[in-house]
Chains A and B, each alone.
Chain A
């Protein structure tokens, strides 16, 4: 089959329909002047009316960032980023403070409607009877524009609000936990985020509380020539449980835009956090023009005994993805999970995986990674399993499967293992398969058209991970996979 040429042609042809979130919204905005210096940092902090300690924290990070080198070890290639050629703050006018749900700019509301995200609680409530309620924090460029169901959540004691608001309302929690998982000088992009982070979501679940609904944040990067640097902090106090989902989209633009987020999770004794991501940033066109650079630091700290953190990610978007959602298994008997589906098509590049750092005794971790490469893309799994001398009885199971579609794509599996005690069991399994012409023919000979057959086979390949997503998002993720791979076989 001359799959390659046809694939490229078809992907090109499909481009416009394929990324249905590629529109942009015309709103008046507050924009920081281009460039990055201490004044930029002060500008952002001032816009948010931040206390002095936070400004100092930012400035300290900025000074450290200036002496850090951009990492080059990932299997991704891109032209050098000019950090002076971007806006570090963009906000819809009149939107720099929290708004009541009725005050949202109609244009922005329309944007979220187009994305299928309800911002009015009554819309959710008017939906299908018995449908689960989902609380949404909507982040538009650098600010949070709406957070739903806050009252109902607060009855349960759950704090769910933009982080810029939490700075004022819960400074004690912020001071205690912000930067305690991803320290300011952790890495180049995290340090940059610490200096210029704009908004993001803050969640605190008090002891013994099971959060009564799914929480979610939808990130929308709209403004031109900007970067997005959000910061999310989730704390699950002793014996509590929370499930959180983030979704992301951006308009189609010719330029590359930088997204450098930091996510910190803290689980205390017997607490559990389930964090799911459906990442669908604009991937750029088939030749690699435009698209989001998704350089994100996500880390969870299983600080308490028997705590549990589970990452599930479906990564279909972005021109380049560089992220390793990790678990620090500090508490004895704590456990970490990482379930990942990463799809690359066209000219996309992904270097993604996880780190499981076993510090406590009898800690457990499980990694299931499903990489799918199509078109001319490159997809790498990079993972570290590290076992500290004190982590006696630690267990890890890792499974990395790669699926290749076509003949011009690449898949890499790069596992690192460091065991510093003999008393641990580490398992690693890896497979690489090509979506076979025989399987496709079999499906078609039974009446299943080719594109549906690809979707069926790919869904089979990733089924184990899809099942880990909250139910209402599994269907969405399934559709997203099908759309991302449209035209990938000729």
Chain B
């Protein structure tokens, strides 16, 4: 299994958010997690990426190795990528400087040779072209003054550059117009590979029309309450989460 989550609990003082979540994704597959607001979708992505603000029990393994004892940067260098729902603005840090620093930090941690500035630039330009991003955006301070759609494209650019083994995309479709959604979906599809697993966390079924998941899971009140094929997404879109929420209450 590329991702294997067993009985995961996560709490902030006074409130448990994940209440025994279990989920497995084999390499080569794309899974989607759908759920209502407050179900714990973003907490799951933050916990997997290594956010330190939670009291955590249970297990989360990536390719057999436990993620939970690792720092966020160690997880990244081992091939975990989490696309943020709200990518941060870094004033004064040019996007390319940031991406190059990050990529080379990962490579250094893995004992690989760093990319030369020339090699890096070539690769970045190609990735930007596929995402219909201008060179100007690469030179600007990361995400500063970017529209919602531009920020998400910048996240996809980073995913393409880092070539992670496991990608978690947290609400990547939110804030995208239809053209941007298409471009972003194409870049996700281009990265599907037998060696890579992906987890799409989303509110709406819209993204799943462009990126066909192998499995859909329903997250309600901190637990996976239902799983099924791509059809489940359409059913949820039509019927909503009421049925599950009543059961959880």
Residues on A close to B: CB < 8 A?
Answer: 1, 436, 438-439, 441-450, 452, 456-457, 459-464
Query: For the complex, is B88 an interface residue (Cβ under 8 Å from A)?
Result: yes
Which of B50-81 touch A at CB < 8 Å? Answer: 50-52, 71-73, 75-77
Given contacts A1-B52, A448-B73, whether A460 and B103 have CB atoms under 8 Å apart is no
A8: min CB distance to chain B, Å: 20
A457 x B93 contact (CB < 8 A): yes
A56: min CB distance to chain B, Å: 52
* Interface membership of chain B positions 80-114, coded 1 if the CB is closer than 8 angstroms to chain A and 0 otherwise: 00101001101111000110011101100100000
Query: For the complex, is B197 an interface residue (Cβ under 8 Å from A)?
Result: no
B101 x A452 contact (CB < 8 A): yes
A319: min CB distance to chain B, Å: 29
Interface residues on chain B, number (Cβ under 8 Å): 29
Residues on B close to A: CB < 8 A?
Answer: 49-52, 71-73, 75-77, 82, 84, 87-88, 90-93, 97-98, 101-103, 105-106, 109, 141, 158, 162
Q: Is the interface of B mostly helix, strand, loop or mixed?
A: helix
Contacts of B158 in A (CB 8 A): 446
B77 x A444 contact (CB < 8 A): no
A195: min CB distance to chain B, Å: 44
A464 x B90 contact (CB < 8 A): no
A317 to B93, CA, bound (A): 25
Contacts of A436 in B (CB 8 A): 88
A456 to B106, CA, bound (A): 15
B90 x A439 contact (CB < 8 A): yes
B76 x A447 contact (CB < 8 A): yes
Given contacts A447-B76, A447-B103, A456-B101, whether A461 and B92 have CB atoms under 8 Å apart is yes
B77 x A447 contact (CB < 8 A): yes
Given contacts A441-B72, A452-B101, whether A447 and B92 have CB atoms under 8 Å apart is no
A456 to B93, CA, bound (A): 7
A450 to B76, CA, bound (A): 13
A445 to B141, CA, bound (A): 18
B40: min CB distance to chain A, Å: 18
Contacts of B88 in A (CB 8 A): 436, 438-439, 442
**7 nearest A-B pairs in the assembled complex, by CB-CB distance:** A460-B92, A447-B76, A460-B93, A447-B106, A444-B72, A446-B102, A463-B92
Among A1, A442, A446, A459, which residue has its beta carbon within 8 angstroms of that of B92? Answer: A459
Contacts of A443 in B (CB 8 A): 90, 98, 102
Residue of B nearest to A455 (CB): B101
B119: min CB distance to chain A, Å: 18
Residue of B nearest to A433 (CB): B91
A442 to B170, CA, bound (A): 13
Given contacts A441-B51, A460-B141, whether A448 and B92 have CB atoms under 8 Å apart is no
Contacts of A438 in B (CB 8 A): 88
A445 x B82 contact (CB < 8 A): yes
Contacts of B84 in A (CB 8 A): 442, 445
Contacts of B50 in A (CB 8 A): 441, 444-445
Contacts of A464 in B (CB 8 A): 92
B73 x A444 contact (CB < 8 A): yes
B92 x A462 contact (CB < 8 A): yes
Given contacts A441-B51, A442-B84, whether A449 and B90 have CB atoms under 8 Å apart is no
Contacts of A444 in B (CB 8 A): 50, 71-73, 76
Contacts of B97 in A (CB 8 A): 456
Contacts of A461 in B (CB 8 A): 91-92
Contacts of B105 in A (CB 8 A): 447-449, 452
Residue of A nearest to B142 (CB): A460
* A-B residue pairs in contact (CB < 8 Å), sample of 5: A442-B87, A442-B90, A446-B76, A448-B102, A461-B92
Residue of B nearest to A442 (CB): B88
Contacts of A462 in B (CB 8 A): 92
A445 x B49 contact (CB < 8 A): yes
A456 to B104, CA, bound (A): 14
Contacts of A460 in B (CB 8 A): 90-93, 141
Residue of B nearest to A462 (CB): B92
Identify which of A1, A441, A450 gathers the most chain B CB atoms within 10 Å of its CB. A441
Contacts of B109 in A (CB 8 A): 447
A446 to B73, CA, bound (A): 6
Contacts of B90 in A (CB 8 A): 439, 442-443, 456-457, 460
Contacts of B82 in A (CB 8 A): 445
